[in-house]
Structure 1
């Protein structure tokens, strides 16, 4: 048995090193993919940080009263709380979201900043996206929920100023873009 582990027989050591080098990354990839899959559906998502705020609104986002979101397997978006107050602490359905293919006119062009490359990169790294239009008083608001290839989740909230309730609206503005995280992590 002593001869099998002799340093003059490198075949064993090379084989063992290659086996270990291939097993460790495989285990890490499987572990991370399981974590990412469970991150979006039926999990309470909270706003981790504000990535973009439209510059021409007087009221700004207050992280102390930020709402939570829940996205179901049936593509229903629910919200607890509100962007402007914490009066409503119960889950309420905002509606069913529809699958969306992100395109420049319906995503990149809705931001008003000199940092278009950030939104271009978000769109290019997008795995899946959903959208929903909601009437809020006289305004037609919309939500975009984005799941990236690396598992990150973003939520865009904006308005359709021309009153249309579809992505083809020519007068849409994204007011806020949030990075969401799982409330339990």
Structure 2
């Protein structure tokens, strides 16, 4: 992108804003069990015999917190869905928005669309844009599972997110 551009109707030269890089750190609470789940199955595979849950689709509205405890400060919510997309290994297709409700990012959101292989120690998922302060954002999210209950599917996932925005 050139370091200047012309606003057509005004014929004025403007410099675009400089990119900023922000590092966000938070915890995602994926709770499928109990009386107040944050993730609910909305579709399932017909055969129901896949070890990876292939074909399962889960809708989420889960808290994002400052620390790993669910009782720590709420900074936002993860809203969207994920689907089991792997026949041979656990692999999720995630289409989610991180909606921020605290601090300078209050009212802004980031959109993620990509593969999440939850059995890998650290994963990388692309940021596809956002809103508010993250309008036209790009970058990557690095999730790391901090706790997982194989019986319930509940998990706490730590996120380090690096985002380039104006």
Category of TM-score, reference length = shorter chain = 0.3 to 0.5
Name whichever structure is richer in strand by fraction: 2
Report which of the two structures shows the higher radius of gyration computed on alpha carbons: 1
| TM-score using structure 2 length | 0.34
| TM-score using structure 1 length | 0.32
